[in-house]
Chain A
Amino acid sequence: MNTDNVVLKVVDLKKHFPVKQGIIMREVGSVKAVDGISFDIRRGETMGLVGESGCGKSTTGRVILQLQRATAGQVFFTGADGETAEMTVLKGEPLRRMRRKMQMIFQDPYASLDPRMTVRDIIGEPLIIHGVVRGKAVEERVEELLKVVGLNPLFANRYPHEFSGGQRQRIGIARAFALNPELILCDEPISALDVSIQAQVVNLLEDLQARFNLTYLFIAHDLSMVRHISDRVAVMYLGVIVELASRNDLYKSPLHPYTQALLSAVPVPDPVVEVNRQRIILQGDVPSPINPPSGCRFHTRCAIAQGICKEKRPEWRDATTGGGHWVACHLVP
């Protein structure tokens, strides 16, 4: 792997949330939302992070941005200037300076914009906070950003409620772009939108990436969307990454039994294909992350699990020796 081009390096990252109970709120356990994950993202690529609800994909995003601090592990960010910072130890002003380079687009365009701020204030706020531009220049930059995301600059004086879901998501994108970031974390950016509007937003994200040479971490549960937008894809289950590979390798020849089941569960919008499709139907629900299963976390629902799967946590390894198809499963040769 070409390590020179790595923008983001995540090493054995963990985030546990304490579970407290009783009158004195004694800690009785912890939710292991993210439990030891490692991956790299290279400059200019889109890394997709998929998984079902509660698998820890959103927490991973938030911990990378230091919106929540990691319980253990490291996150390294390398800027275009070649300077590398260990995000997980930074505090105060140095952290704030690094944050300019990584921004986030949120899932819910209804909840993530302050209803009492105008579009100008929403998009201009990061510019003012980081002291990038002042006075009249803020206004000019806001107008420019609105044009970039395909909104009329005259909309700057309006409030979020005057816009549709798709337009609000464009406002969120404009705000994320305000500081010329290098890495953008998209956390389910289109799942709240209608199909015809989803395509508009995805096309916009792709155009902006090409234009500004951006790196995306794209978090979503929609496997078709992730296949469309990503160069490489990581699959999470119950706080761990079970498989990571280039988009076509992962979708054409998934190695992990969970990835196989997940992919077979996605309906193909084509009646001719659907008629003959064999599904792997998983039994039961995802176990609780408070007491995750021992060994391989998937063994309780895995059709081919054996004794070792219950006892030993599978090693995270490249199954193709250098081909970059990573998997954590005892039974993959």
Chain B
Amino acid sequence: MAALLEVKDLRTQFQTRNGLVHAVNGISFDLAEGETLGIVGESGCGKTVSALSLMRLIPEPPGKIVGGQAIFQGKDLLRMSPEEIRRVRGAQIGMAFQDPMTSLNPVLTIGRQLTEALELHKGMSRQEARHRAAELLSIVGIPQPTERLSDYPHQFSGGMRQRVMIAMALSCMPQLLIADEPTTALDVTIQAQIVDLVKRLRDEIGMAIIWITHDLGIVAGLAKRVIVMYAGFIIEEAPVKELYAEPRHPYTLGLLGSLLRPDETEHRRLVSIEGLPPDLLGLPRGCPFVPRCVYAVARCWEENPALVAVSQGHKKACWVDAPQGRLQ
């Protein structure tokens, strides 16, 4: 399959009062048409900043995309004029964010927020757009869609607002959906409804998805390939089954070991990753994970390992053969 999106060496930094924060430090990945990619990591690992950078939504200042490329259908998103990127955002790339209360405009009706993109990107008339908006609400499972178009966001529950967000993201049938923790604020039964909906829509319109989350459970059932981020670096990338069955980076190993399963029968002691995530002021000399790593050797403190292939489609950034505890 042809690559829909190719990200090369993306770097984003923020100027703060305490110094320069290195949020994303040269990440590269690609995404095929119709593919679902999961990006996982803990808070502050740079997963959200990566997504915002691709969409050119980094507030500047304090933020700045300092390098890299993001080739989407032959054109570099990072070098488009503001006018060009606006035509891509919402039309070819849809976005759904974590918090539907802050990403919906509280003083516009749901109907207006949905029709705006349709009129702008698809050149529909008011009437056509309204008709389509009602259709979209019914696709995402909102009862009485035509009546609800004139409601405001506060009149919707959390789960329903998230559905509206997804309806907006999908309104122009994008080739790519970027979803940043879209279910994190929701209860599990509502989360299941949303994930089910996204899967159905994905199969119907064949769009690619980048699903950003800290929840390794959701990714297991949704993504085909997974990227694990730590301190602004990609530290492992693998097909989903392989990542869970044979994680190769010590951080991924720890993360999967600390994970609880609803189907666990024997009580076991959780593996915990000791220590804290690094602050991102200044780049580390060695591997960013080394202060918390149980496999660390001298070289890890000196040189930051590059992301290299360990098998077909499986890459890791680590000097050590972690499961065996040997230097490679």
Contact = CB atoms under 8 A, between A and B. Distances in A.
Contacts of A267: 195, 215, 217-218, 220-221
B71 interface: no
B269 interface: yes
Interface residues of B, number: 47
Contacts of B244: 269-272
B263 A281 contact: no
A52 B192 CA distance: 13
Instruction: Please report whether the interface of chain A is mostly helix, strand, loop or mixed according to DSSP.
Output: helix
B276 interface: yes
Nearest to A264: B192
B258 A196 contact: yes
Given A203-B269, A228-B270, A282-B189, A268 B263 contact: yes
A288 to B, nearest CB: 10
A138 to B, nearest CB: 29
Nearest to B45: A194
Given A199-B270, A202-B270, A203-B269, A285 B157 contact: yes
B16 interface: no
B263 A251 contact: yes
A199 B258 contact: yes
A39 B217 CA distance: 32
B260 A228 contact: yes
B260 A225 contact: yes
Contacts of B221: 267-268, 271, 274-275, 277
Nearest to A228: B260
A282 B193 contact: yes
A266 B255 contact: no
Nearest to A204: B272
Interface of A: 52-53, 164, 166, 194-200, 202-203, 206, 221-225, 227-228, 248, 251-252, 261-275, 277, 279, 281-282, 284-285
23 contacts: A194-B214, A194-B277, A195-B255, A195-B258, A196-B42, A196-B258, A199-B270, A203-B269, A222-B260, A223-B188, A223-B262, A224-B259, A225-B260, A228-B267, A251-B263, A262-B188, A266-B188, A267-B218, A268-B263, A269-B256, A269-B259, A271-B220, A273-B263
